[in-house]
Amino acid sequence: MFEHNPEHFHLLPSILSPTTSYPLISMSRSPIKNRLTPLSFLLSIRRKLRLPIFPHNTPCICGHKLHDEFGDHAFSCDRGNKKRAHNVIAHDFALALSPALAQAGYIHPNTPLNIEPIFHLRSDPTARPFDLSFSPDPTSSHVCPYTTIGADINITGSPLPPKYVNTEDILNIITANADNNLQRHERGKIGRMHKQPSNTSPFIHGDTVIGELYQKNMVLIPFTIDPHGRFGPMLQAFLTTTNHPPQKPWRITHPNTKYQRPNANLMYS
């Protein structure tokens, strides 16, 4: 790929991620839940092998751009709806994490994870800050000090090529580049977006919601996933208990209060 398709080379850390290779080719097809439809399998395997999907000059529903033949635009288009994929990922993560967390001693066996729970926060009563969450059992053997652990899932766009590539360290550079793309979206989840005023609700500062979660001893972990199946550093660290690259600190003082995010720093720590 480096010699013949260098424009795709920076995507290799994601394309080679085993997280999506394994379910495509290694899981037993005996259970019905492991079987993809022929079209889903075809799209998935062509994405994974970086083979063309769209014919040339296929128009997008956004009306502004044409689909590239590899389907990358579909993941970054503002008009594209990723809700179904998002919901499937949240549901399946909940099913997979329940027995793992029980075996690790955080929850009781057969305890389901909560999907999009409403906590009736004072700052935003309708907020659903977590796509899935669990409450560690206080009587169990774990040492987790938090009342609730929640995940917010985000499907990102493809990473852009790195601006500078040193061929002597090219693998580390493109791997860091892939993680930087995922980290930007992690940052966006912890630095929660503001909710603009409407006829029924006032302006709600995103950092106020994060602060209320922090005060309630709840932890928000962004689960970012790129279009080629690479997991973000925080998600990888959550699953494997490894460390992840640090985020830059958020501003805590600024003349415009909309830019102040002291609670994002607290939540991240």
pLDDT digits (tens, 9 = 90+) for 131-176: 999 999 988 777 788 999 999 999 999 999 988 777 778 888 999 9
Q: Which residues contact 236 (CB under 8 A, 6 or more apart)?
A: 242, 244
pLDDT given for residue 193 in this prediction: 92
The pLDDT mean for the chain works out to: 90
Is-contact 69 52, C-beta < 8 A? yes
List phi, psi (to 5°) of 189.
-75, -40
Residue entry with tokens 């019905």: 32
Tell me how far apart the alpha carbons of residues 117 and 132 are, in angstroms, rounded to a whole number.
7
pLDDT given for residue 211 in this prediction: 96
pLDDT given for residue 79 in this prediction: 81
pLDDT given for residue 55 in this prediction: 85
Using the predicted structure, report yes or no on whether residue 13 has a pLDDT greater than 90: yes
Give the DSSP H/E element, type plus range, for residue 236. helix 233-240
pLDDT given for residue 73 in this prediction: 87
Give the distance from CA 31 to its chain's centroid.
Answer: 27
For residue 219, what are the β-bridge partners? Answer: 149
Instruction: Quick: pLDDT tens for 254-264.
Output: 788 878 899 99
pLDDT given for residue 164 in this prediction: 78
Using CA atoms in the order 253, 259, 260, 264, what is the torsion angle rounded to 10 degrees?
Answer: -130
- The residue-averaged pLDDT of 49-55 equals 89
Q: What is the model's pTM?
A: 0.89
Q: What percent of the chain stands above pLDDT 90?
A: 53
Nearest to 117, CA basis, from 147, 139, 143, 144: 147
Instruction: Quick: pLDDT tens for 71-111.
Output: 888 888 888 788 888 999 999 999 999 999 999 999 999 99
HSE-CB for 122 with a 13 A CA cutoff: 6
Q: Which residue has the higher pLDDT, 12 or 244?
A: 12
Predicted confidence band of residue 128 (pLDDT cuts 50, 70, 90): very high
Using the predicted structure, report yes or no on whether residue 231 has a pLDDT greater than 80: yes
pLDDT given for residue 136 in this prediction: 93
